[in-house]
Amino acid sequence: MVKRIIILLVIVFFAIIIFPLLKVDPTDSLSSLATKYIRDGADELGSANLVTSIVVTYRGLDTLGEVAVLFIATAGVGFLLRKKKNSSANKRRKSSEILSSGTSFLVPIIFLFGVYIFTHGHLTPGGGFQGGVVIASGVLLLMLSDVSLKFNHFLLSAIESFSGFFYIIIGILGLFLAGGFLDNRIFSLGTFGNIFSAGAIPIIYSLLGIKVGSELVGILGNLRDSE
């Protein structure tokens, strides 16, 4: 009885907190830093999506930290789960004909869509993380339809480390050619709203997408192939 009452009180408490959020106008009171980003961000960095320019350039070091956190998670999963000695792939039930032919039709579309998301990160909502997750979902569909799919874990970790390496290289290039670490103005800004604009943001987002996608595929492959 006491438990029920406590649950009810918690719900009422959160309702009181959350209900005023319905009337929030996202533009009413901004801090001075946010005002500066909104006023100068589009002219300074040339990206049509302001969130992208904040995440990649103004707060680029935070994004680097997030990718490092994801890398540590992958390493932890690979460290904790033991490798299976005898493969028990034939114990799993095979998928049906419709699922495998539908997969062979849909997986290229999913990969293409993931590439679209991370190369258009400076124009549409989306970016490296979202595109990487979409690509990992395509590989996941392959795993679900094909029980004997083998992963080359060495190749995955090589792709992941090289994309991380080039990400850091671009960041250091910003120190020499432009204003600071991870500055995107090392290339010309281009026309506002084109695909080839906003300096290094599309390149950084492509590297991020490849890195996140290979890390998530590594986690899923480790989960499947372990005991």
Partner 1 sequence: MITIIVIVLGLIMIIAAFLAIYQKNLVAAVISAGVISLLASILYLLLAAPDVAMTEAAIGSGLTTVVFLYAISKIKKKDGE
Partner 2 sequence: MAEIIYNISAIIALAGMIIALYRMVKGPSIADKAIALDVMTIISISLIVYIAAISQKIIYTDVALVYALISFIGVIAIARYLERGL
Partner 3 sequence: MLMLIGSLITLIGSIFLFLGALGILRMPDVYNRMQAGTKATTLGTILFLAGLALGYSHCTCWPRILTLILFIVFTNPISSHALARAAHHIGINLTEKSVTDKLAEDEAENGEKL
- For the beta carbon of residue 196, count every other beta carbon within 10 angstroms: 10
93 sits near partner 3 (criterion: CB under 8 A):
yes
| Distance separating alpha carbons of residues 121 and 101, to the nearest angstrom | 31
Instruction: Give which of partner 1, partner 2, partner 3, none residue 153 binds (C-beta under 5 to 8 Å, depending on kind).
Output: none
Structural contact between residues 208 and 164, judged by C-beta atoms closer than 8 angstroms: no
Give CA angle at 28 (23, 47), nearest 5°.
115
Residue 23 in contact with partner 3, rule: CB under 8 A:
no
Told to check if 96 binds partner 3 by CB under 8 A, we report yes
Q: How many CB atoms lie within 10 A of CB 22?
A: 6
Nearer of residues 124 and 226 to partner 3, judged by Cβ: 124
Positions 65 through 124 that interact with partner 2 (CB under 8 A): 92-95, 99, 106, 109-110, 113, 117, 124
Ranges assigned E (strand) in the chain: none
Here the tokens at position 63 are: 């994004």
C-alpha dihedral (136, 140, 142, 145), degrees to nearest 10: -170
98 binds partner 3 (CB under 8 A): yes
Residues that bind partner 1 (CB under 8 A): 11, 18, 21-22, 24, 26, 51, 117, 125-127, 129-130, 133-134, 136-137, 140, 216, 219-220, 223-224, 226-227
Which listed option, partner 3, partner 2, partner 1, none, makes contact with residue 50 (CB within 5 to 8 Å by class)? none
Helices (H), 146-200: 153-177
Helices 97-119, 128-145: crossing angle, 10 deg rounding? 170
Residues that bind partner 3 (CB under 8 A): 93, 95-96, 98-99, 102, 105-106, 109
Residues that bind partner 2 (CB under 8 A): 92-95, 99, 106, 109-110, 113, 117, 124-126, 130, 134, 137, 140-141, 144, 147, 224
